Structure 1
Amino acid sequence: MHTVSLTVGAMVLHPLGLSKVLHLQRGGIDLQTPAGVQFVPYASLEVRGFTDDSVQAEHTAISPWWFALSNDTRRQALDRLAIVQEILTGYRYGWPSEDNPGEPFHPFGPGFNASLRQRAIAMERRLAGTQDSSNGGSSPAVGFSTIKRWITLYEQAGLRALVDGRSARDRKDFSDLDSRFRQIVEDVISPFDGTASAVNVAELQRRVWLGMKEGGLSRDIVPERMSAEYVSWRYSVCGSRPRAHRSAKVRKRSAHQPSPIVHPSHVSMDTTRADNLVHDELRQTSYSVEITVIISVATRVVLALRVTPRSVNSIEAGLCLYDAMRPFSLKVEGTNVDDWRWAGVPRSLESPLFPPRREVTHESTTLQGLHHIPGIRPSSFRTDHGAAFMAGHFMGLLRDFGISLWPSRVGASTDNAHIERFWETIQRALQQIPGYKGRNTSQRGRRIVVADQPLMTAHELETYLRRFVALDYHRAPHDGLKIGGLESQRITPLEYFDFAMEACGDITVPQHPDLIYEFLPIRWLTIGHAGTEYKGLSYDSDALDAYRHVRRGTFRADDTAAPFMYDPRDCTRLWFRDPESGRVTEIPSRHQHLLTMPLTQRIRDKAVDAIAARGGNSRLRRQTSTQQIIDELGSLYQAPPAKEWNATMTAERLRFETAQRDHAEAAEAWKRVSKATRRTSTPTMAAKSTDSWIDDAWPDLEGK
């Protein structure tokens, strides 16, 4: 252990000022103080070694308050002390044995019979002369009334009273508080990480006192005012609301440097509730939807955007990935703006299926023309732990395409910070259209739907947001995009994407009209003379004729089942890939012509459950199950449903309509490929064709 000796002649900081050790006694020391000789026990001293003020020890009555002050504050207090002691005693140290040459000077000290006012005025003149000679008079002069006030304060409270209150006002010596008290405060504050509701400081103080009582501690171990300040300060660090509590917790785990990801194929995906209501045309009501987005982390380019019902599922997440792998274009011609169109379909399946590399940056001076939305095969995927992203179907898609999944840490929203920031950007679009309801209930007005401002449908909202991305977001400079050596240049996401692709190389997916079926789940079903059956519905087509009675092991070992693609959003059909031609063919339900309402997996399961509830499994006979389901669907749509089922029907109809557009897009791609193949079948036409990719405007798949 390092020890420090206290010697005769050493300076000790006493509550009355600087003092000198005269004698070392057995139980303490004799100190020469400005008030005379005093005996101080060793227990009342704290020896520190020599400091900047030549002080070797200090009295416990003034420690650790003194050393908690800044150096400038301590120096200022000692200067005032010297002025006061010279006025009162004639000596700056307060006693004759430590006099400076010439002391005492006139009229300071009791020997000149000058009044206290006269001495203060003389000190004012001396200080003014000292300041003028040292810095040209730039410092404010000290008046005699201020000096008299210093004398009064010193006589009342000693050295402590000479410290400028403004310098010490904001200093909270929380380190002096009992460590047991501070630990109790930490235990009380720790639950406020975003999971607990906010409370006021008085309640926190009550919990702290209760914790001290349970721990056998007296409230007298801490000053009441300082303890209350400490509790208030610790809680203010966490924030005032649960959202701030969560942010404070996340900041402890977040990085302090930008991500080193540079390749555009590192993508991020997330889903959020849209802050706008949309219109249900069938039921003439409004409801909420969600927005699912995939962005390229390095370039901030939006690769895919879909509007889905609430609680997006793994099928919809997978189809968003399907969009991210396809290049799109949006055409502006005059005042007409179309939707995103698949711009990567080959004109002939005999040509390369990889779309050619091209610049995606649009002319910045005009909106007219084609606006490209690039497609890319992701190499890594950043998501949260949402059920849709952790489901087996979505995980299987990532595995099949060789994509690494990087799930965020639980509770660490900053792991996916780039797409979380995009939700703030998209507010600029959402606040411009009817039905905006605010980010939360505290921002919501009394009236959301206005009579003369009709709401958009879900599909119209999706189209609007896609236009915003292509015409606004992709064309605006992004503050988070910088190129080494050109940090002052303002760069748009598309410009950075072109730069990154040239520097890092391209990763694309072979484009094919049947690409969507790579993203649908597989059902293994047996093909019989009447087709195949799944979940009570029968499906058949001429495309199955060659496979009605196949041998065991034809498609997979140990049985005669064949793989069918299945879309839970549309149960009116299946899809079958012919092993000979590789072509995917639609296999419709045998009773599709009887269906006049959307049929999704959830609605079909509801109908089956209703039939079984009326008579058990005996009511579901193989020969009549399809007709029973169709009849039950009619009753489900015609009867006034409960409020909860009403919302379900609205969501399922949105899913069904989205499925119709997705599969119509694939069918249209086949038509265009077949038509282009026929056009280029003659040598003359083939010689004239220089572009092997369809990049012109598509027809309106809505049939409008």
Structure 2
Amino acid sequence: MTSGAMVVFAGSRLMFDGDLVEVVEFDGARITVRNIRTGAFSAVSFARLAAGTRMESAAELEETTGGVALAGLSDRQRQEVEERAGHIREVLSGFRSGFAGMAAAGEPRPQFSPELAVVERIEAKAAELAMSTRTLQRWIAAYQQAGVAGLVDLRLLRGRDSRVDPRWDEAVRDVFASLVEASTPTRSAVIRKVEALLEERHGSGVVPLPARSTAYARLEALGRGTNALTGSAKARRSIAERPKGVYGRLRATRPGEFVVLDTQDLDVYAMEEVTCRWVRTQLTVAQDLFTRCIVGLRVTAVSTRAVDVAAVLFEAIAPPAEEDEPKTLAPFHGLPDWLVWTEEESPGRGLCPPETLVVDHGRAFLSTQVIGVCTRLGISIQPAQPKKPTDKPTVERFFKTLREGLIQHLPAYKGPDVHSRGLAVEDQAFFFVHELEDVIREWLRDVYHRSKHDGLVVPQWPGIALSPLEMLRIGIAKAGRLRMVPNPDLAYDFLEVVPRTIQHYGVEVGGLRYNGAVLDGYLD
């Protein structure tokens, strides 16, 4: 059996850091190598060389390593591989175990005696197993190259052991692709579409059709992970729109670097304070990406407006007074560098006109004063991709945690969809909209921000469970910086601007009159 190691000595040629190098000499714990392309000499440590090198003429490794290949087998498949290895060892040594010291009763058998030539033993084993000597020789070569793992049929791991015609599989994939935007079909409907497509492409009866049970099993295998036949149709469309290659995610390195905004319908009814109507509610939050703290929120009736977004941003960037700090959602995180939200879901429709932003790929709906103050404070606006909740996974996970940890336990909980709704939900107890917001704020302060989150990890201590508040302390200590408003009054620019005239008696807002020394000089 060949070894998976390589021997390095003076004169060896290796691929090191993408270049072909030649080992010149060993010097203590370092090796001097010469770059074949440039002729430059360099000295590297043993560990550095081992981490970045490979033999110049080494064959490519198998796609699946031995341990992974064996672990991916079922118990029955693993027994078959072990049985096959026993036959190979008997051919090579005369013993099923491979060692004379572990010989079973009756071993070695006469036809596999070590005194016989290997060719004779191969012919005897091929006759015993009713197989060709060529196949047996391939088994022996694979065993000598990679051990027992070399006898694993990798097609079993890759799903290629199906006896269904590949053209039928290809037609299934094409049908699945054509139904991404459609409603979820039944398996029988997909099979009929596949048969029609095969007849159109290859003619009637040309491609053999699998039995009904086999076809159903194959549909399940080909549709796994795509939501083609089960699961949410919305998730199916999201899966189909994934990038085909490797893609990353937005990463924050310190508190205040990214603040993610999003709006979500709450699965609970509330009562509107003035009209006393049952209303749907929406929650708009601003979440710091590094700490997962919710730094601003607003619960609104029916839908969210631009003024509500402004209120959330105002809460996120305005440092609280010292006496109010215990009542805040989270400690001050500083001014964010970036505001991120999904463009099509961004709040702000209905109250203020849209403002066109030349960022990425379109426009975000925000009030003019919010865009202006963001510009003055150096806050950039970055729309996430439309219809891609995976671009904001942390805030989407927060909404799920909120629903499971709080919302479902509240009165008038209506469930995530119509099929989950209880009977006469409106007849239950309820909260007013402002009371619902107070309950959520209290839950955030006392539960969410103090609970351990699996997604919060410090690279230096990956095994430590951290809460958002603990992550904030660590982040501030590591970053050593905090962006703050140069003039606290700038934060008030986020609030809604409503024109009012100054009369001799002061200013009237919502039926209330305000007056004071600050108006002196403006009175008519």
| Counterpart selection for 2:423 from 446, 452, 465 | 446
Kindly indicate whether residue 285 of structure 2 is the aligned counterpart of residue 293 of structure 1: yes
* 1:457 alignment partner in structure 2: 432
8 Å CA contact 1:326, 1:375 repeated in 2: no
2:436 and 2:424 map into 1 onto residues whose CA distance is: 20
* 1:215 alignment partner in structure 2: 201
1:383 and 1:370 map into 2 onto residues whose CA distance is: 23
| Counterpart selection for 1:264 from 252, 255, 263 | 255
1:150-161 matches, within 5 Å, as none
Q: Which amino acid aligns with 1:502?
A: A
Q: TM-score, normalised by structure 2?
A: 0.59
| Counterpart selection for 2:339 from 377, 381, 400 | 381
Shift of 1:250: 6.2
8 Å CA contact 2:271, 2:430 repeated in 1: yes
Q: Which amino acid aligns with 1:234?
A: L
Q: Per the alignment, in what secondary structure is the counterpart of residue 190 of structure 1?
A: helix
1:130 and 1:79 map into 2 onto residues whose CA distance is: 8
Going from structure 1 to structure 2, the CA distance change for 1:494 and 1:212 (only over 3 Å counts) comes to same
Q: Which amino acid aligns with 2:478?
A: A
Q: Which amino acid aligns with 2:198?
A: M
8 Å CA contact 1:373, 1:470 repeated in 2: no
* 2:474 alignment partner in structure 1: 499
Output one character per residue of 1:635-681: Cα deviation in whole Å (capped at 9) or x when no partner: xxxxxxxxxxxxxxxxxxxxxxxxx9xxx9xx99x99x99xxxxxxx
8 Å CA contact 1:330, 1:370 repeated in 2: no
Kindly indicate whether residue 395 of structure 2 is the aligned counterpart of residue 403 of structure 1: no
Q: Per the alignment, in what secondary structure is the counterpart of residue 303 of structure 1?
A: strand
Percent of aligned positions that are identical: 19
Output one character per residue of 1:245-279: Cα deviation in whole Å (capped at 9) or x when no partner: 24634665697766431122211010000111102
Output one character per residue of 1:70-99: Cα deviation in whole Å (capped at 9) or x when no partner: 89847846978999xxxxxxxx9xxxxxxx
Q: TM-score, normalised by structure 1?
A: 0.45
| Counterpart selection for 2:221 from 203, 221, 233 | 233
8 Å CA contact 2:164, 2:210 repeated in 1: no
Output one character per residue of 1:540-584: Cα deviation in whole Å (capped at 9) or x when no partner: 32489xxxxxxxxxxxxxxxxxxxxxxxxxxxxxxxxxxxxxxxx
8 Å CA contact 1:278, 1:458 repeated in 2: yes
1:182 and 1:370 map into 2 onto residues whose CA distance is: 57
Shift of 1:213: 2.1
1:477 and 1:81 map into 2 onto residues whose CA distance is: 53
8 Å CA contact 1:77, 1:159 repeated in 2: no
Q: Which amino acid aligns with 1:444?
A: R
| Greater radius of gyration (CA) | 1
Q: Which amino acid aligns with 1:391?
A: F
Shift of 1:419: 0.6
Q: Which amino acid aligns with 2:310?
A: G
Return 281-290 or 69-78, whichever deviates more.
69-78
* 1:19 alignment partner in structure 2: none
Kindly indicate whether residue 365 of structure 2 is the aligned counterpart of residue 391 of structure 1: yes
Q: Per the alignment, in what secondary structure is the counterpart of residue 274 of structure 1?
A: strand
1:122-521 matches, within 5 Å, as 134=102, 173=160, 180-193=167-180, 195-225=181-211, 228-239=216-227, 240-241=230-231, 242-246=233-237, 248-249=239-240, 259-265=250-256, 266-328=258-320, 341=324, 373-385=331-343, 386-388=345-347, 390-393=364-367, 395-427=371-403, 428-451=405-428, 454-504=429-479, 505-510=481-486, 512=488, 515-520=491-496
Q: Return 5+ residue gaps in structure 1 as ranges.
A: 1-68, 84-91, 93-99, 102-125, 138-153, 161-166, 332-340, 344-361, 363-368, 524-538, 545-585, 594-659, 675-704
8 Å CA contact 2:279, 2:301 repeated in 1: no
8 Å CA contact 2:260, 2:395 repeated in 1: yes
1:136 and 1:256 map into 2 onto residues whose CA distance is: 55
Going from structure 1 to structure 2, the CA distance change for 1:231 and 1:75 (only over 3 Å counts) comes to same
Going from structure 1 to structure 2, the CA distance change for 1:189 and 1:487 (only over 3 Å counts) comes to same
1:522 and 1:295 map into 2 onto residues whose CA distance is: 28
8 Å CA contact 1:329, 1:373 repeated in 2: no
2:250 and 2:265 map into 1 onto residues whose CA distance is: 27
Q: Return 5+ residue gaps in structure 2 as ranges.
A: 1-75, 106-125, 133-153, 349-363, 520-524
8 Å CA contact 1:268, 1:382 repeated in 2: yes
